[in-house]
Structure 1
């Protein structure tokens, strides 16, 4: 089940050799389907628990302008959505709790007000760095022009700041972020979990933010924070975005 977990992944569940036919067992197994956007931090939360538990599932990326599919599932355009045995549910942390089940691998949240305060203080800075880069990233939810345009239209800054202005100010914004990251680094217990005692809901809420920041080229990551981000990506089977960094 990833770091600190032990559930076995069914043999062949993720073996996709070219030309291979599915076995009878595979054909008769109905896996849960998780509908997501790749860039979405809330979707990353839901993806993490499957990886941490080592559970096979179907990962379905929707186009950002697809309103019909989520509406059919839960009545409105919101992701993530988990569909299993004919039933669908939304809300990322509800999905995490359901998948983690009665024998959870996740520790409860420690109500880290210090980390929450860091995120609040740096929210706009992070948005100015990441939104323009998400808008240009090669992601499955932006496979058509209309889907990308939809996201850009829906994520403009309320104060009128344009994405191009943010990109032009990247040097100053990155310098500001580089001054803030050591403060967050100091709040982590280790490079494998936010808190002592193992992976918790605080990791589920922090890692997605850090993953999005890997889109930003030139960030001076403190060593513990960088290793934590990489370790959590491996443990949760949610790849980072650093190869698209700009």
Structure 2
């Protein structure tokens, strides 16, 4: 992309850029070997992106939201905006819905960074038996619900604009964020969900088994979700309201692990395809649900597996473990294996 932008500029202008390259932040360290053409391309892209100048068009400066005669150019410039000022994905680390959005943005290499909230932040103590504190994500769309994507060019739903509150805005709902990511991606693709019945059935049965395994252990993970004791207190209060007995669930760990093993073996048989890893330190391929590569079906399954990495003693089929580990690494997401507990 840098080379394409470079070709739009005159040679004299490029020459003047190179003469001043020593003063630029992208200049190489002394003694480093750098191709002049690559340096010129990188520098040119940086300058164009920071000034929003549409080279050769003689028009006013481009800003996110500007419409030109070229939707492709608008999309490319907006994507360059995100390279310099990444989108912000507001999340809870342990949340499977947030994981869907994280996987899609990460796998499609859409520039973004995380804003992680304490789980109790934004809950109203008056409505939660004294649990909760602060604003949390409420100023964004008026709800304590994540994920939310914010940044240049990110649309907000109509109800946010129409709210009597003064809200910062953003795109809520995990599947909406996934759809947005698929629409703006410049590299890679994730196929739509197939509605495959065995996947739906598997997820439904997994939900029964994973709850008693995850709820006692996720709150022990050293993540920002639980940085404040009030975050754990709020989670425990919610679990109690849901009728979850944490101590009983822990005492029955062996029973739930026994029920989990055949479900993971089923998933192993459901992994019908492989997809090539790229753009990371990974090599080769990793399993996926369909012969044509990654799909939204995978995006629904993988968050369940990633959360299970907090549980010690699971009998992981080799391919299922590789599916979880490699896809998470490809998306830049850490698992909980290092901190797994009984």
Match of 1:188 among 237, 259, 271: 271
| Structure 1: distance between partners of 2:177 and 2:301 | 17
Match of 2:230 among 146, 169, 190: 146
TM-score for the superposition, normalised by structure 2: 0.61
Structure 1 residues 90 and 145: alpha-carbon distance in aligned structure 2, compared to 1, 3 A threshold: same
Write the mapping of 1:134-173 to structure 2, written as runs, cut at 5 A: 134-156=218-240, 158=242, 160-173=243-256
Contact 2:213–2:249 (8 Å) recurs in 1: yes
Structure 1 residues 105 and 244: alpha-carbon distance in aligned structure 2, compared to 1, 3 A threshold: same
The higher relative CO (CA closer than 8 Å, separation ≥ 6) is in 1
Q: Does 1:73 align with 2:140?
A: yes
Gaps of 5+ in 2: 1-24, 27-45, 51-83, 123-134, 153-167, 274-285
Gaps of 5+ in 1: 1-10, 13-24
The corresponding residue for 1:39 is 94
Structure 1 residues 102 and 47: alpha-carbon distance in aligned structure 2, compared to 1, 3 A threshold: closer
**RMSD (CA atoms):** 2.3
Cα deviation 1:99-130 (Å, max 9, x = unaligned): 22255611111112101101212312110011
| Structure 2: distance between partners of 1:51 and 1:126 | 25
Q: Does 1:124 align with 2:179?
A: no
| Structure 1: distance between partners of 2:206 and 2:303 | 15
Contact 2:96–2:304 (8 Å) recurs in 1: yes
Q: Does 1:235 align with 2:330?
A: yes
User: Which secondary structure state, in structure 1, belongs to the residue aligned with residue 240 of structure 2?
Assistant: coil
TM-aligned CA deviation for residue 226 of structure 1: 1.1
User: Which secondary structure state, in structure 2, belongs to the residue aligned with residue 55 of structure 1?
Assistant: coil
Structure 1 residues 42 and 161: alpha-carbon distance in aligned structure 2, compared to 1, 3 A threshold: closer
The corresponding residue for 1:113 is 197
TM-score for the superposition, normalised by structure 1: 0.84
User: Which secondary structure state, in structure 2, belongs to the residue aligned with residue 136 of structure 1?
Assistant: coil
| Structure 1: distance between partners of 2:237 and 2:264 | 30
| Structure 2: distance between partners of 1:168 and 1:70 | 35
Structure 1 residues 45 and 165: alpha-carbon distance in aligned structure 2, compared to 1, 3 A threshold: same
Number of residue-to-residue matches in the alignment: 224
TM-aligned CA deviation for residue 61 of structure 1: 0.4
Write the mapping of 1:49-64 to structure 2, written as runs, cut at 5 A: 49-64=104-119
User: Which secondary structure state, in structure 1, belongs to the residue aligned with residue 297 of structure 2?
Assistant: helix
Match of 2:103 among 34, 37, 48: 48
| Structure 1: distance between partners of 2:205 and 2:296 | 21
Q: Please tell me whether Structure 1 or Structure 2 has the larger radius of gyration of its CA atoms.
A: 2
| Structure 2: distance between partners of 1:124 and 1:207 | 17
| Structure 2: distance between partners of 1:63 and 1:51 | 22
TM-aligned CA deviation for residue 87 of structure 1: 4.4
Contact 2:213–2:253 (8 Å) recurs in 1: yes
Runs of 4+ in 1 over 3 A off after TM superposition: none
| Structure 2: distance between partners of 1:84 and 1:36 | 14
